[in-house]
Amino acid sequence: MRTSWADAVANAESSAAVTSASPSNVAIGGASPSRGGRAAYVPPHLRNRQQSSESSAASSAPAPSIADSPSGIRKPAFFVASDAGGSRRSSGPIRDSVRPSSSGARGGSGGWNSRGAGWDRREREANPFADDDDDAAEAAFNSQENSGINFDAYEDIPVETSGENVPPPVNTFAEIDLGDALTENIRRCKYVKPTPVQRHAIPISLAGRDLMACAQTGSGKTVAFCFPIISAILRGTPAPRQRGSRTAFPLALILSPTRELSVQIHEEARKFAFQTGLRVVVAYGGAPINQQLRDLERGVDILVATPGRLVDLLERARVSLQHIRYLALDEADRMLDMGFEPQIRKIVEQTDMPPRGQRQTMLFSATFPKEIQRMASDFLYNYIFLAVGRVGSSTDLIVQRVEFVLDSDKRSYLMDLLHAQRDTGAHGKHALTLVFVETKRGADSLEHWLCMNGFPATTIHGDRTQQEREAALRSFKSGATPILVATDVAARGLDIPHVAHVINFDLPNDIDDYVHRIGRTGRAGKSGLATAFFNDSNASLARSLSELMQESNQEVPKWLSQYAAARSYGSGSGRSRRTGGGRFGGRDFRRDSSYNRGGGDYYSGGNGYGGGSSGAPSGYGGGYSGAGVISAWD
């Protein structure tokens, strides 16, 4: 029962094996380059702390690796001068610089950035569509609902854009000249019509503008940033050849917060880039680095990566970011939150990556808290804010339930739910259940208990090996183990078809995480169910959860409302203030006067805001700010 082709495509995507990611136990070759004074291995989070405390001492940065290029340019690939002053921010506004991509200056053709001849590679390129002929994909592509029902619903989706000179949206792919190869791949993907986020984001991106987009992955978020990137690279001036260098110089960088999501994006991007001559490479931790190094050496135009592995590659001088023209952050609010921000700043502001204004930066997420938006503007130049979302009805695809369950009763409750689901059989043979827990240990423990009790379960979390993680995901997707116990590693972005039920065994501490978690179900037009176990330890979530459910037209249990009221009685509820009342990031923070006092503070980097909005249905603005119709949002 598909209702959108985008979801159908997502299904097809995920049915493809994560081939590129199949890890082996090959040892990391070449050891680590000798790096004076550098500890063997410091976990990323610890290094972040270290880094931030020594921000003003340029000399305290690790000795830069020297690219082993025979060509004579021995350039430090990491911690170069872009932040020479030691400021936390990048070096000053560049508002006067000419944007390389917006003026159509690139007239050349064949701008691929690889060493070998493009033709040879085209012949050898594995067909990324090879797996699309399986039954799931066929069903998806042939389903009538693909091109019908949901697109009608899309017409009513409110769209907010703000910023200067917003390019108008397009209605068809044909209106945009994406080039022959890409057009052919669109046909292969059986994409008929762009989704709203694509209709708006692609022209914005092709115009060379920076973008902050609130969008659903299920409706083609990946397409929204991949298409313009691929198209622009093909039209752009060819990158300088790097003869004989072992350093790779990608033109585009796509970062995502988890390894599995990077794999998924890579799989999708490969299809779009098929036979364009462009090379898409993925790099992420937990997998042997050797294959990734080989992939990079063969040339890379678009690099999809998780932050940690990319930092490693930068330190080894196997990747340089100095030719980056396009930077995309998927799940951008996650990438910029406390845990990831230092690494992202390091990559974006303390390497040889061109500063904002000289690259094109695109941020995508479904949730965009205002303070994250504010921080994100550090990375953006005169950007356009885009929010695509359904405010009104029809997000009732996910039924949300909350039950009061003591910790000691959770397993028993869970078993009841699983039994009920198994007995009703209402979800068909592919019905999958995704169980979120708070801790990695809890995940192992629950998985073990489920298996002991005859429920075929597996688990995915950060303490498992990458092989185990990917095997677990495959096993879950295939239905071999229809119960997956997961930490938040699986909360965002992953397209897993047939998830009928998301159970928040432990509720997250952050309402945004809840939003992303339950968004794993209710996809592809199916009715999804999300059940949460709530008890005293979740008190801090009571208010925001209650508000969220109200906004989604869900039935809020009376006891939860009382919890929420009690909670907010004292302090004004630290929780829901976080995103300024409208917890859903459906609004440009630049329009919020409380973020704009002092005049121009946030525009100092050239982030001019022209005000106004375009393409928004009338009367839309007011209802949106507080709305949290989020069920299908990623």
Partner DNA sequence: TCTACCC
Residues 6+ away with beta carbon under 8 Å from 416: none
The residue range among 187-195, 309-317, 371-379, 543-551 that interacts with DNA, by the rule CB under 7 A, is 309-317
Q: Which of residues 260-299 bind DNA (CB under 7 A)?
A: 260, 284-287, 289
Which of 176, 224, 362, 489 is close enough to bind DNA by CB under 7 A? Answer: 489
For DNA, the closer CB: 40 or 57:
40
For DNA, the closer CB: 307 or 522:
307
Judged by CB under 7 A, does residue 622 bind DNA? no
User: Smallest Cα–Cα separation from 359: which of 580, 550, 13, 90?
Assistant: 90
Three-state SS letters, 504-559: ECCCCCCHHHHHHHHCCCCCCCCCEEEEEEECHHHHHHHHHHHHHHHHCCCCCCHH
DSSP 28: P
Check: CB of residue 365 under 8 Å from CB of residue 211: no
Judged by CB under 7 A, does residue 258 bind DNA? yes
For DNA, the closer CB: 44 or 369:
44
User: Smallest Cα–Cα separation from 439: which of 421, 422, 458, 459?
Assistant: 459
Instruction: Please name the residue ranges forming H helices in 387-479.
Output: 410-424, 440-452, 466-478
Strand-pairing partners, residue 360, are 326
DSSP 203: H
Judged by CB under 7 A, does residue 308 bind DNA? yes
Which of 290, 509, 561, 596 is close enough to bind DNA by CB under 7 A? Answer: 509
* Amino acid sitting at position 197: V
For DNA, the closer CB: 259 or 271:
259
The residue range among 97-105, 375-383, 449-457, 485-493 that interacts with DNA, by the rule CB under 7 A, is 485-493
Judged by CB under 7 A, does residue 514 bind DNA? no
Residues 6+ away with beta carbon under 8 Å from 163: 209, 382, 383, 384, 385, 588, 609, 610
Instruction: Tell me how many residues contact DNA (CB under 7 A).
Output: 41
The residue range among 36-44, 367-375, 379-387, 552-560 that interacts with DNA, by the rule CB under 7 A, is 36-44
User: Smallest Cα–Cα separation from 629: which of 387, 402, 427, 372?
Assistant: 387
Judged by CB under 7 A, does residue 343 bind DNA? yes
The structure tokens 């095997």 sit at 471
Quote the least distance from Cβ 418 to DNA, whole Å: 22
Strand-pairing partners, residue 159, are 388
Quote the least distance from Cβ 158 to DNA, whole Å: 31
In sign, the C-alpha dihedral spanning 402, 404, 407, 408 is negative
Query: Between 447 and 476, how does the x/- string for binding to DNA read (CB under 7 A)?
Result: --------------xxx-------------
For DNA, the closer CB: 363 or 541:
541
DSSP state letters, 233-296: HHHSPPPPP-TT-S-B--SEEEE-SSHHHHHHHHHHHHHHTTTSS--EEEE-TTS-HHHHHHHH
Judged by CB under 7 A, does residue 586 bind DNA? no
Which of 44, 369, 580, 628 is close enough to bind DNA by CB under 7 A? Answer: 44
Judged by CB under 7 A, does residue 32 bind DNA? yes
The residue range among 202-210, 244-252, 322-330, 432-440 that interacts with DNA, by the rule CB under 7 A, is 432-440
The residue range among 165-173, 273-281, 301-309, 386-394 that interacts with DNA, by the rule CB under 7 A, is 301-309
171 vs 200, 364, 391, 511, 617, CA distance in Å?
9, 21, 21, 34, 16
Which of 488, 495, 547, 634 is close enough to bind DNA by CB under 7 A? Answer: 488
Catalog residues that contact DNA under the rule CB under 7 A. Answer: 28, 32, 40-45, 47-48, 257-260, 284-287, 289, 306-309, 311-312, 315, 338-340, 343, 438-441, 461-463, 487-489, 509
